[in-house]
Amino acid sequence: MSETKKPAGYYLRERFMPHLWCAGCGHGTVLNGLVRSVDELGLKKREIVMVSGIGCSARMAGYLDFHTLHTLHGRALAFATGVKLSRPELKIICPLGDGDALAIGGNHFIHAARRNIDITVLILNNRIYGMTGGQYSPLSGCGIDATTAPYSSIDEAFDAVRLATASGATFVARTTTFHVHQMQQILTQAIQHKGFSVVEVLSQCPTHFGRKNGGLEAVDMLKGYQQNTAPVGSKKLENSPDLIPVGVFVDEERAEYCDRYQGVIDRAQGGAAARTAPVGQGGAAAQGGAP
Amino acid sequence: MIWKIVIGGVGGQGIITAGIILAETAVIQEGRFAVQSQTYGAAMRGGLTRTDVIISDEEIIYPKVDQAHMLACLHRKALSAYHKMIRPGGLLVTDRDEAPALKRLDCRQYEFPFSAALREQSASIRNVNLCILGAVAHLTGVVQMAHLEDAIRVRYSGNEDALAAVKLGQELVVDSGFRAVHLGEDGRTGRHATSARE
Amino acid sequence: MSNATAGSPASGTTPASGPATTGTTPASGPATTGTTGRTLCVPGNEACAEGALYAGVGFFAGYPITPSSEIAEIMSRRLPERGNRFIQMEDEISSLCAIVGASLTGSKVMTATSGPGFSLMQEALGYGIMAEIPLVIVDVMRGGPSTGMPTQGSQGDVNQVRWGTHGDHSIIALTASTNQTLFETTVRAFNLAETYRTPVVVLYDEMLGHLRERLSIPEPGELPLVERLRTGVPEGVDYHPYLIRDDGRLPMSDFGGVHRYNVTGLYHDMWGFPSTDPHTVDDLAHHIYDKIELRADELAQAQEFYMEDAEIVFISYGSPARTAHQVVHQARMNGQRLGLLELQTIWPFPARMVRDACRKARATIVVEMNMGQMYYHIRNAVENPRSVFLSNRVDGRFITPKDLRRVLRIVEGQGE
C-alpha cells in the first residue's frame, strides 16, 4: 500500500478530456472508484493494462494513463488474454458494458472465466446500449422500454453474478454507483485477487434508460440502487428476497491459468519423461482423420 | 531416376505410415528427394486408404502419381480400386491372402504371404505394412535395404518387432527366388526402364 | 523447385527479407529451433511451422480447423519447449484478437486457420490493419464457400484475403508451392509484418499443407530476420506511437514498458487517441493504404521458369504452379516455347511484374484452383486482355498436366 495518496488527476490523461459521458452517468463514479483502488494498492501505472471493447464503458480505458487497448465490440477479453498470457506480470483490467460482457462478448466471457486467467472484469451494467442510442441489452430484462423495444422488452436478463460463478470465475461481486465505499473496497479486492475476478457495477444511464423508463433522473436511479439492494447474506435480504443482493459472492483460490501454463513450460522443458500426457508426433493428423 | 509408387489397403493397416517411411528413407537416409501424399479424410475407419510416393534423385516438380511404376497392395478392395493406376509393364506386389493377384493385368505380379508369415511367427499383424516395405525395397532397390532399416530404427527407436517385420518381407522375396527388377523412369528424358536388375 | 534444376534463372526476384532499409539480425538465441541445419521429410504445414519457429515466433493462439490443425499441434508442443506460449482459444475470432494483444507486448505472433475460420477473423484483421499490429496469419485453403470441402484443396480465399475486411485498406499476402519455399515465405511474412507493422497472410492450399517432402532447415543466420523496431525515446519524454518517421516506419513500445499509450481501431492521431478530424483521418487512411500499395513492385516476388523467349506464358501460384512447371519443363524438351511465372506475392498485386511477363507472349494461361480470382486481376494488368485464358479446377482435385495440355491445344487452335 502506498503511503501518500495521489490525486485522481495523476492517473488521468487530460489530453483526452473532456470525456464523452453524459451528465449524471454512473461510469465516472466507477472510474473514480477504480483510480482510488489502484492508488490504494500502490500499483505503478506501467504495470496496468486496461483493455476495453466498444461502448460508453470502453472509453474509460482511454481516459486513464495506463497501457490502454481499446478493441472491438465484445472482444476485449480475447485481446486481454493475449496480453496477459504473453506478459503474466502485468495487471489486466477490463471495463466492459452490457453487450461487451454478455451479448457479443458472452462466449469470450465464459471461456476466460473457465480458464481462471488473472484478469479483473468490471461489468458496467446500465441495462441499455447507451452509445448507440438506447437499444435494449441482455441485462435490460423484461418490461423495459428501449428504442428497439417500443412495446417493451420480452427478453429475460442474464444474472451476471450467477453466470460468472457458473463459468468458473474465482472472485465474483456486485456493487452499485451508490455504494461508492463498498465499490472501492470490492475493486481493491478484485484487483488483488489472483484469478478471474468479476465485479458487476450497477451504473445509471439517465439519458437513455432513465428517460425511456419513467423519466428517471440520475438521482432517482441512485436512490433506487440504495432502496432495491441488500448485502448478500444479510437479514434484510432474507426478509425481502426480491432485493438485488450486493457484496462478494465468490472469493476462492484456484490455480490461475498463466501459473498453470508455467507448468506446461516446465514439463515441455523437462523432456519427454516429465510429460504427463503422450504427445503426438508432428503433423500426426496428416496420417488420417478429419474432424 | 524417378519412381512413382502407390501403396493401397484399408484403414488401420498402416498404409500411410508405410508411405511416410518410404519417403523418409529416401530423403533423410539417402539424401534424395521424395514426395508423399495420401487420401486424406476418414482413412482410419476401415475404408480404402492409399498413399502416393514419388522418389527421385532430383527435385520433384509435379507431386502426384499418374501412372505408377509400382502398386503395393494389402487388401483386395484396394487392389480392385487401384490396379488401373499401374503403368503397363509395371509392378504389382500384393499379399497372397488379403489381395490375391488379378488375372489379365498388364504388369508383373508378385504375391507374397506377408500376413500368413507374420501369423506363423506369432508376430503382430499390425506390422504387415513394414513387411511389404521390406519386400519392395529388396525386390526393386527403390531404397536400399540398410537405409530402410535405419529409418525404421529412428522411427520405432529400437523396436525389434518392427525391424523383424522388415527383414521378414525381405526373406520372403529371397525365398521366392524372384529376381530383383529395375523400374522407374529417367527424370530428364521420361524414358522408362523395365529391365531385370542383374 | 530451385531455379538451378528448372533450367532458367529467376529474374526480378527479391531476397526473402524486408527491403534494405530494415534492420536485420541473424537468427540466434530463442529464434533458433532444435532442427536448424537438418534435413526433414515433413508435410507443408510442418514446413510452415518450422519457418515460423526459425523466424522467432513467440506466441500462437488458434482454434483447430482442417486442414491447418497440424500447425497448432506443432506450436503447442514446440513453443513451451522454448519458454514461449501457445493457447487454444474458444474460436477464430478470439484467436486473432489474442495474438494482437500478445504482439503489443513485444512478441512475434501467429495464428493459423482455414476458410471458415478466416471468415471469422476478418473483424480483427481489420483491427490489426488499423492499429498497425505486426501479425502473421496462415490460411490453408480448402474448398468453399461455407464448410465446403474440409479435406480438399482450393484457392478460393485469394480475394477474401484482399477484400474480406471492411473499409479501404491494403494487405500483404504471400504464397508458395513447395515445402522449401513455404518455409522461406513464412520467414519473409514475419519480416514484412515487423517491417511494415501490418498483418501478413501466408496463403496456401490443402495440397501443399499435407504434401510431405524434403525440407532443409537453414542454419541460424542463413536467412535474415527482421526484429521489431522499438522506439529510442527515453522515459519521461513524449513517445508518439503513431507518428510516422521519414522512412515511413513507426517504432513501437511494448506494453509493460516505460511508455504508456492508447491503441484503438478508431481513426486516431499520432498519440493513438480517437479522432474525426478530416486531416487526421485522411492522413491515416492514405498511410495504411499507401505503405503497402506504393511498395507493390518492391514487395513483388516470383519465380520465373523459361521466361526469356516464352511465346505462351503460364501464370500460377501455389500447388497448381507445380503442374504448370511440369508441363513447361516437358514442352521445352519438345521445342515448345512455354514459360511459367510463379507468383509468390499475391497481394499487393504484382501488376508491373505480370504486365512485363506477358508483354512478349502470344497467350497467357492463368492456372488456379478457383473461378478465376487472380485471372481477372491479370487481365486488368496486361496490355492485351483478350490473350489471357483461364485453366482452373474447383472440384478439389489437383490440376493435372493433361488438364493444361488440353487448354494449350484449345488456345493453339488445335482442338482437344
State the smallest CA–CA distance between residue A272 and chain B in angstroms: 14
Cβ-Cβ contacts under 8 Å, C323 against chain B: 62
Q: Is residue B145 part of a domain?
A: yes
Instruction: Let me know: does B83 contact B36? Beta carbons within 8 Å.
Output: no
Q: Is residue B59 part of a domain?
A: yes
Q: Which three cell numbers stand for residue A255?
A: 490455480
Segments forming the whole domain that contains residue A259: 8-273
Q: Which chain C residue shows the shortest CA-CA distance from B20?
A: C212
CATH at A230: 3.40.50.970
> For residues B12 and C331, which has the higher predicted lDDT (pLDDT)?
C331
A154 DSSP 8-state letter: -
Cβ-Cβ contacts under 8 Å, A103 against chain C: none
C94 and A81 within 8 Å at the Cβ level: the answer is yes
C10/C2 Cα distance (integer angstroms): 9
Instruction: Let me know: does C12 contact C302? Beta carbons within 8 Å.
Output: yes
Q: What is the mean pLDDT of residues C36-56?
A: 95
For C344-366, how does the pLDDT look when each residue is reduced to its tens digit (9 = 90+)?
A: 999 999 999 999 999 999 999 99
Interface of C with A in 25-54 (CB under 8 A): 42-43, 45-46, 49
State residue C22 phi and psi, 5-degree precision.
-85, 145
Long-range (24+ apart) CB contacts under 8 A made by A154-163 are: A157/A127, A158/A102, A160/A101, A160/A102, A160/A123, A160/A125, A160/A198, A160/A200, A161/A198, A161/A200, A161/A245, A161/A249, A163/A102, A163/A109, A163/A110
Interface of B with C in 157-176 (CB under 8 A): none
State residue C169 phi and psi, 5-degree precision.
-165, 175
Q: Is residue B91 part of a domain?
A: yes
Calculate Rg over the CA atoms of chain B: 15
Cβ-Cβ contacts under 8 Å, B35 against chain C: 211-213
Segments forming the whole domain that contains residue B37: 2-176
Q: Is residue A288 part of a domain?
A: no
List of residues 6+ apart from A8 with CB closer than 8 A: A32, A35, A36
B66 and C2 within 8 Å at the Cβ level: the answer is no
Q: Is residue A282 part of a domain?
A: no
Alpha-carbon torsion angle B131, B136, B142, B148, nearest 10: 10
Helix axis angle, B15-24 relative to B145-156, nearest 10°? 120
* Model confidence at C336: pLDDT above 90: yes
Q: Which chain C residue shows the shortest CA-CA distance from A281?
A: C74
Instruction: Let me know: does C209 contact B39? Beta carbons within 8 Å.
Output: no
> What local confidence, expressed as pLDDT, does residue A94 receive?
98
List of residues 6+ apart from C336 with CB closer than 8 A: C312
* Model confidence at C23: pLDDT above 90: no
State the smallest CA–CA distance between residue A260 and chain C in angstroms: 12
Put simply, whether C80 touches A (Cβ < 8 Å) is yes
Cβ-Cβ contacts under 8 Å, A287 against chain B: 16-17, 20, 38
Q: Which amino acid is at C388?
A: V
Q: Counting Cβ atoms within 10 Å, is residue C305 exposed (0-12), middle (13-18) or buried (19+)?
A: buried
Report the percentage of chain C scoring pLDDT > 70. Answer: 91
> What local confidence, expressed as pLDDT, does residue B105 receive?
84
Cβ-Cβ contacts under 8 Å, B24 against chain C: 41
Query: Which of C60, C105, C107, C152 is most worth mutating to test chain A (most A CB atoms within 10 A of its CB)?
Result: C105
Q: Kindly report the CA angle at A206 between A204 and A209, in degrees rounded to 5?
A: 85
Q: Which chains touch A (3 or more CB pairs under 8 A)?
A: B, C
3-state secondary structure (DSSP) of residue C92 = helix
B61 and C1 within 8 Å at the Cβ level: the answer is yes
Q: What is the mean pLDDT of residues B155-161?
A: 89
* Model confidence at C216: pLDDT above 70: yes
Cβ-Cβ contacts under 8 Å, B31 against chain C: 39
Q: Is residue A283 part of a domain?
A: no
Cβ-Cβ contacts under 8 Å, B38 against chain A: 286-288
Using alpha carbons, select from C359, C364, C354 the residue that is nearest to residue C313.
Answer: C364
Query: Which of B62, B66, B155, B188 is most worth mutating to test chain C (most C CB atoms within 10 A of its CB)?
Result: B62
- What's the pTM? 0.92
A144/A142 Cα distance (integer angstroms): 6
3-state secondary structure (DSSP) of residue C205 = strand
Put simply, whether C396 touches B (Cβ < 8 Å) is no
* Model confidence at C4: pLDDT above 80: no
> What local confidence, expressed as pLDDT, does residue C97 receive?
98
Size of interface A-B (CB pairs under 8 A): 21
3-state secondary structure (DSSP) of residue B81 = helix
* Residue C161 pLDDT class (50, 70, 90 cuts): very high
State residue A247 phi and psi, 5-degree precision.
125, -165
> What local confidence, expressed as pLDDT, does residue B15 receive?
94
A88 DSSP 8-state letter: T
C5 and B58 within 8 Å at the Cβ level: the answer is yes
Please give the tally of structural domains in chain A: 1
CATH at B159: 3.40.920.10
| Positions of chain A with pLDDT under 50 | 1-2, 273-291
Q: Which chains touch C (3 or more CB pairs under 8 A)?
A: A, B
Put simply, whether A281 touches B (Cβ < 8 Å) is no
> What local confidence, expressed as pLDDT, does residue B41 receive?
55
State residue C122 phi and psi, 5-degree precision.
-60, -35
Put simply, whether B71 touches A (Cβ < 8 Å) is no
Query: Which of B38, B40, B49 is most worth mutating to test chain A (most A CB atoms within 10 A of its CB)?
Result: B40
Q: Is residue A258 part of a domain?
A: yes
Please give the tally of structural domains in chain B: 1
Helices (H), A127-213: 160-167, 180-192, 211-212
Cβ-Cβ contacts under 8 Å, B44 against chain A: 288-289
Instruction: Let me know: does A257 contact A240? Beta carbons within 8 Å.
Output: no
C301/B67 Cα distance (integer angstroms): 34
Using alpha carbons, select from A15, A80, A19, A72 the residue that is nearest to residue C271.
Answer: A15
Cβ-Cβ contacts under 8 Å, B49 against chain A: 288
State the smallest CA–CA distance between residue B45 and chain A in angstroms: 9
B128/B117 Cα distance (integer angstroms): 10
* Residue B178 pLDDT class (50, 70, 90 cuts): confident
End-to-end CA distance of chain B: 17
Q: Which residue's entry shows cell 534494405? A: C20
| Residue-range domains of chain C with CATH | 7-226 (3.40.50.970), 301-411 (3.40.50.920)
Q: Is residue A120 part of a domain?
A: yes
* Model confidence at C46: pLDDT above 70: yes
Whole-angstrom CA distances from A277 to A273, B141, C77, C304 are 10, 40, 12, 47
Mean pLDDT of chain C: 92
> What local confidence, expressed as pLDDT, does residue B191 receive?
64
C94 and A78 within 8 Å at the Cβ level: the answer is yes
User: Between β-strands B2-10 and B68-73, what pairing exists: parallel, antiparallel or unpaired?
Assistant: parallel
B62 and C323 within 8 Å at the Cβ level: the answer is yes
Cβ-Cβ contacts under 8 Å, B41 against chain C: 151
State residue A258 phi and psi, 5-degree precision.
-65, -35
Tell me which H or E stretch contains C342.
Answer: strand C338-343
Q: Which residue's entry shows cell 495504411? A: C288
Q: What is the mean pLDDT of residues C236-242?
A: 95
B181/B183 Cα distance (integer angstroms): 6
Q: What is the mean pLDDT of residues C40-56?
A: 98
Using alpha carbons, select from A140, A174, A166, A175 the residue that is nearest to residue A154.
Answer: A140
B14/B78 Cα distance (integer angstroms): 13
List of residues 6+ apart from B171 with CB closer than 8 A: none
Put simply, whether B33 touches C (Cβ < 8 Å) is yes
3-state secondary structure (DSSP) of residue C224 = coil
Q: Which chain B residue shows the shortest CA-CA distance from A285?
A: B40
Instruction: Let me know: does C99 contact C135? Beta carbons within 8 Å.
Output: yes
> What local confidence, expressed as pLDDT, does residue A3 receive?
55
Q: Counting Cβ atoms within 10 Å, is residue A103 exposed (0-12), middle (13-18) or buried (19+)?
A: middle
DSSP E strands in C37-93: the ranges are 39-43, 59-62, 85-88
C202/C189 Cα distance (integer angstroms): 7
